[in-house]
Structure 1
Amino acid sequence: MNLPQFNDIWQETTNWQPSPDQQLLFDELYNKIIETNKYLNLTRITTPEEFWEKNLWDSLAPLMGYDLNNKKIIDIGTGGGFPGIPGAIAFNRGQFTLMDSTTKKINFIAQLAQDLNITNITTLVDRAETIGQEKAYRKQFDFALIRAVAETSVCLEYTLPLLKKNGTAILYRGNWTQEEEEKSKKIAHLLGGNIEKIVNQNTPLNNNIRHCIYVKKIGNTPKQYPREVGKPVKQPL
């Protein structure tokens, strides 16, 4: 089954469109997801148009203002592989680490990357609280992506410890309020970050509300963050 291409929408909304090879990979990705979804719950999104909008466009639109090629990127709580897999296809010289605590999902992504010959994906079964305190990952990434995982304060505590100085955390959100913005600015500052911009770009087919929060790492994250597993969610900053 082939996905709609919507090249005109890609161009109008992101100033980019996939090459024929990338479009073919998107089609293969969709087919693998649908096939695997029969026995492993990867996504509730199954129609071609919905998959294009919510898993491809929604993953990539927030990234298109940046060049992720030759950068190190981590996708935290990747689930079925979004936004990490579309990101790795679009920026095939970026080094993507896709991390999730669910082994079955990460095993699926590792196999899919092998099957589709996507060579710039590394997989990791772990928790953000754990790797944020490990030398191999702390302060190692240029970009940290986090989509639909938890409230903003938790996302900031998960992402900022992993970033190099001048790295960028990209937080994918739905609704966004002024109150949330004020609170998030303070938490970002505490963790060594600064909210650079907030972009509202709703989805192009169904006009679903989308906000993207871009947070620059400007200083060091205090050593006690991230806190131990479960604490950021149970006792948010």
Structure 2
Amino acid sequence: MDSIQQRFVQRLKEKGIEINDTQLQQFETYYELLVEWNEKMNLTGITEREQVYEKHFYDSVTLAFFVDMKRVENLADIGSGAGFPGVPLKIVFPHLKLCIIDSLNKRITFLKAVSEGLGLKNAEFLHGRAEEWGHKRGYRDSFDLVTARAVARLAVLNEFCLPFVKPGGVFAAMKGTDPTEEITDSAKSLRELRGEITDVDAFRLPFDDSERHIIRILKTAFTPFKYPRTPGLPLKKPLV
């Protein structure tokens, strides 16, 4: 274990999360695959090893500081890109049944290669639009926890993500800077999609002191059938 890994392990341990050597090796393999595939396709602008461990791996796992993952059986990550936060959370909490949905098939191909390289079990990677998968049986109103990291403004994210959450489940939107304005603009979408904000967790990353916010939204009832609307419409005409 080198100094980068030691800091990563120690920072997680300070938050009550311990990982073993196998899990640490999975993170290292993930990093190697990310850099290798990034030469062929644009997955991330962050490729320096320490930065990946801090700004991708650690940042992804911060969701577990505020949500009890032991009580989560299945997790959907919408618009995951290179697998953040879904894959790091799956590594740390292998009991999770993970579903990642992304609109770019090349990224799904990468994630399947990552899953195979890391030996992940109960992990599903789906190509397509959230607006389409959100209407499919087995996915709609089905997940304990749904998350999205830096995908879109909250009013749009609610329509992408809340249809996947089971009533009583949680949608956690992972944001950077202060989301107060986004939260204000999301009032209509929350009403329409049967969501209620319960917490906004504000914190700073330990290495560069950058702001982070996690907006936790309780799903209060089944999603009305007309949502999500047809692909592209939530972005073009957000529920504001």
TM range (shorter): over 0.9
Query: In the alignment, what sits opposite 2:109?
Result: 107
- Residue-by-residue CA offset, 1:155-184 (whole Å, 9 max, x unaligned): 111111111111110101111243332333
Structure 2: which amino acid aligns with 1:38?
A: E
Query: In the alignment, what sits opposite 1:119?
Result: 121
- Structure 1 residue runs of 5 or longer lacking an equivalent are none
Deviation at 1:8, TM superposition (A): 2.6
Structure 1 residues 214-233: aligned runs within 5 Å? 214-233=216-235
Q: 2:74 aligns with which of 62, 72, 81?
A: 72
SS in 2 for 1:43: coil
Structure 1: which amino acid aligns with 2:128?
A: D
Between the aligned partners of 1:162 and 1:195, the Cα distance in structure 2 is: 16
- Residue-by-residue CA offset, 1:109-163 (whole Å, 9 max, x unaligned): 1122112211121110011100111223111111111111111111111111111
Query: In the alignment, what sits opposite 2:10?
Result: 8
Q: After TM superposition, where is structure 1 displaced by more than 3 Å over at least 4 residues in a row? A: none
Query: In the alignment, what sits opposite 2:196?
Result: 194
Query: In the alignment, what sits opposite 1:87?
Result: 89
Scaled by the length of structure 2, what TM-score is found? 0.92
Does the 8 Å contact 1:74/1:144 carry over to 2? Answer: yes
Between the aligned partners of 1:123 and 1:156, the Cα distance in structure 2 is: 21
Query: In the alignment, what sits opposite 2:143?
Result: 141
Between Structure 1 and Structure 2, how many residues are aligned? 236
Question: Would the alpha carbon gap of residues 144 and 153 (structure 1) be closer, same or farther in structure 2, given more than 3 Å must change?
Answer: same
SS in 1 for 2:186: helix
Query: In the alignment, what sits opposite 1:171?
Result: 173
Between the aligned partners of 1:115 and 1:24, the Cα distance in structure 2 is: 11
Structure 1 residue 44 corresponds to structure 2 residue 45? yes
Q: RMSD over aligned Cα, in angstroms?
A: 1.7
Query: In the alignment, what sits opposite 1:207?
Result: 209
Does the 8 Å contact 2:77/2:101 carry over to 1? Answer: yes
Between the aligned partners of 1:53 and 1:185, the Cα distance in structure 2 is: 33
Does the 8 Å contact 1:33/1:42 carry over to 2? Answer: yes
Deviation at 1:186, TM superposition (A): 4.1
Deviation at 1:18, TM superposition (A): 2.0
SS in 1 for 2:69: coil
SS in 1 for 2:174: strand
Query: In the alignment, what sits opposite 1:35?
Result: 36
Q: 1:128 aligns with which of 122, 127, 130?
A: 130
SS in 2 for 1:4: helix
- Structure 2 residue runs of 5 or longer lacking an equivalent are none
SS in 2 for 1:75: strand
Does the 8 Å contact 2:179/2:213 carry over to 1? Answer: no
Does the 8 Å contact 1:69/1:91 carry over to 2? Answer: no
Does the 8 Å contact 1:69/1:93 carry over to 2? Answer: no
Deviation at 1:188, TM superposition (A): 1.5
Between the aligned partners of 2:105 and 2:180, the Cα distance in structure 1 is: 37
Does the 8 Å contact 1:59/1:82 carry over to 2? Answer: yes
Structure 2: which amino acid aligns with 1:136?
A: G
